[in-house]
A and B are shown apart, each in its own frame.
Chain A
């Protein structure tokens, strides 16, 4: 069930009415959310529901074992729970990749691989709810949070707005909201409405337009296009993936808001970043925080000298890349960001030039292009294709067929929007908030009609659904 479909909004209308009708009965509205979330998940493949239930049971049981145990036993319980989480993720997401590469490696030594080749279906959203489960048990172990009741935890892990593509919400952020009385809650409708309509525009209109106009053609046959087409195709992909993923997140946050829940922000004008470190504070922020708190800092973070910090950064970014998919392209993408940040730290430590408009501008330009280099790896279907595309960037002796004023304008406006003051979108929400429900509804309806006319009737799934 995709957000930009009639099916989803009918489903949501039923959930919304039922949820608020049960506002005075906490167990009932939580049970409703749980059932709704499992129905939402089963829409893809009913077998996946068992996996979600298994992840819920593993992490809930693990958290109970942690609080009931003494120090060493609690650590063992934590280790066992995290290992079980990673085993599930490893089997469904990485087994095929590991087995085929192991097979190749053993074959080159003239040996038979011990790993049989098995094709495993990747359940949607597994990367997201696995990371949420791990953060929960680690936070319980660290005593950042107290263990939740079974129903609360089940809703926390499966809550449909974040289930398939985030944001990766922490237990400390969502569980207290589940424990609060529903009737005391404020629903920020203007923010929810602007997020949802804006998110739908980003996904249905902007992302799809750029994908079909230039990105898909350029990346499908990377050796066949002019340098101008290829360069604009890469810039367009940078905009497409931002519009696609941040559009999804906006809709998810807006939907949660309509049910009275606040999710953390996931994007903050990432292409306005002046450094790679800055980029990761603005792009997929909930994943960055997760990697920082549950991987980079436990590895030692930046506390142990330049060399170990570089190692920790590389490990974190490469594993962050691998989180997105079991492929060498994602590993290389993570490595580009890891190496980039190591270089950046070294330059920063030795830099003597004070920050100015010029240095910030140059920082933005360099950062954006390193990020784009990463996107070439991220979007390409193989390292060879990525190489072909990079070579294609130098092919300026052939005519450009895909560069059109509309594509250039869409890319330029989307990038300029990232530099616009945040108060602009805030002002739109404020103006909207002053209206009554009838004009509010009319405006939303008009906005949706505009999106329907501008967008195609068949909208491809969100890019991050496959992670």
Chain B
């Protein structure tokens, strides 16, 4: 049954549309404000915030501009993957101090952005066979450390640790971090000394949370990227991760740049897989990992885990 509209002139539709927009903005101002504030910095974000903030503030739900490091509750779609069927969580123990068994496997938490999602899925798959490692994955696409107002990894990791009691935390993020952010009351431009200093501090803080209580942290460096200019930004971030890891003995930095580079040191879309045949390593965007690429990275992480916990590799 199709209804016929008596008021179907474009003018009438425009009126209804304008009223709809007004009602929507009025009723959902605080939610819209939260969404807009997580957008990339720039004039377009400023315009939208200038319109929506007074309404949001009128709601009384958001009192003031959130501080750059404030932990706004994550409202974005957040895939949370929990693998490994565990009984009640056990208290944390130093990984090397105990022997993981199939009934009490090493508890590994993988966190980060969509690249961590690629890695965590593969690590879960390859670890399932050995049954000595239980992988838990918490990844949030488009997240990172540049925009804690969009997603606060410090808070998320603390919450994950309290809930899941991991013994090793594997972190992979940064692919979304090459952007300016607000800090100290002003916009800090990307690729400046100030940006690097603040970003490095955030990296060190997250490492500290991960490595507290004798946990181990494996920080995964970003792989070479298809776009050389984007890759250069990622390489600079890798320097910051490596530098921060040097300051924390319980943190290991895993360099993946060369792992995904060809013999010439450049981005390689295809590399030999476990069988020695060429396999696609990356998705078509030249950033994300294919299944074979994620398996390659997961293999490197597994080797690192075995180094940290020697008994994982078997007697």
Contacts and interface: CB of A to CB of B under 8 A. Distances in A.
A188 B14 contact: no
A224 B122 CA distance: 12
A441 B17 contact: yes
A258 interface: yes
A221 B110 CA distance: 13
Given A212-B79, A398-B85, 12 more contacts: A16-B13, A16-B14, A188-B2, A188-B3, A217-B80, A220-B124, A399-B85, A433-B4, A437-B16, A444-B23, A445-B26, A457-B76
A127 B20 CA distance: 35
B278 A103 contact: yes
- Residues of B contacting A: mostly: mixed
8 contacts: A17-B14, A119-B286, A187-B10, A191-B3, A429-B3, A440-B16, A445-B24, A449-B24
Contacts of B10: 16, 20, 23, 187
Contacts of B2: 188, 191, 426, 429
B24 A426 contact: no
Contacts of A458: 35, 38, 76-77, 141-142
A442 B3 contact: no
A437 B12 contact: yes
Interface in B71-121: 75-85, 117, 120-121
Given A220-B124, A430-B3, A212 B77 contact: yes
A114 to B, nearest CB: 14
Contacts of A422: 1
B162 interface: no
B124 to A, nearest CB: 4
**Closest 5 interchain pairs by CB?**
A445-B23, A441-B19, A426-B1, A457-B35, A449-B27
A442 B19 contact: yes
B31 A119 contact: no
B34 A457 contact: yes
A271 B65 CA distance: 47
Contacts of B280: 96, 100, 117, 119
A426 B3 contact: yes
Interface string A423-467: 100110110110011101110111011001100111110000000
Interface size class of A (residues with CB under 8 A): 35 or more
Nearest to A226: B85
B137 interface: yes
A189 B12 contact: yes
Nearest to B32: A452
A106 to B, nearest CB: 10
Interface in A368-424: 381-382, 385, 388, 398-399, 401, 422-423
Interface residues of B, number: 66
A189 B22 CA distance: 18
B77 A456 contact: yes
Contacts of A446: 23-24, 27
Contacts of A212: 77-80
A127 B279 CA distance: 25
A100 B286 CA distance: 17
Contacts of A216: 79, 81
B193 interface: no
Nearest to B121: A220
Interface in B33-62: 34-36, 38, 48
User: Which one of A118, A220, A429, A453 has the greatest number of beta carbons of chain B within 10 Å?
Assistant: A220
A430 B4 CA distance: 8
B64 interface: no
A447 B146 CA distance: 34
Contacts of A432: 3
Interface string A187-231: 111110100000000000000100110001100110111100000
Interface in B258-287: 269-270, 277-280, 282, 284-286
Contacts of A23: 10
Contacts of B32: 6, 452
Contacts of A193: 16
Contacts of B19: 437-438, 440-442, 444-445
Contacts of B77: 208, 211-212, 456, 458-460
A445 B81 contact: no
Contacts of A103: 277-278
A187 B4 contact: no
A221 B83 contact: yes
Nearest to B123: A221
Nearest to B151: A458
B75 A437 contact: no
A433 B3 contact: yes
Contact of A224 (B84, B142, B279): B84
Contact of A122 (B6, B27, B28, B284): B284
A186 interface: yes
Contacts of A382: 291
Given A121-B284, A398-B85, A456-B76, A449 B23 contact: yes
A441 B15 contact: yes
Nearest to A215: B79
A188 B4 contact: yes
Contact of A119 (B24, B142, B269): B269
Given A96-B280, A445-B21, A456-B75, A220 B81 contact: yes
A13 interface: yes
A96 B269 CA distance: 10
Contact of A436 (B7, B35, B79): B7
A258 B12 CA distance: 11
B9 to A, nearest CB: 7
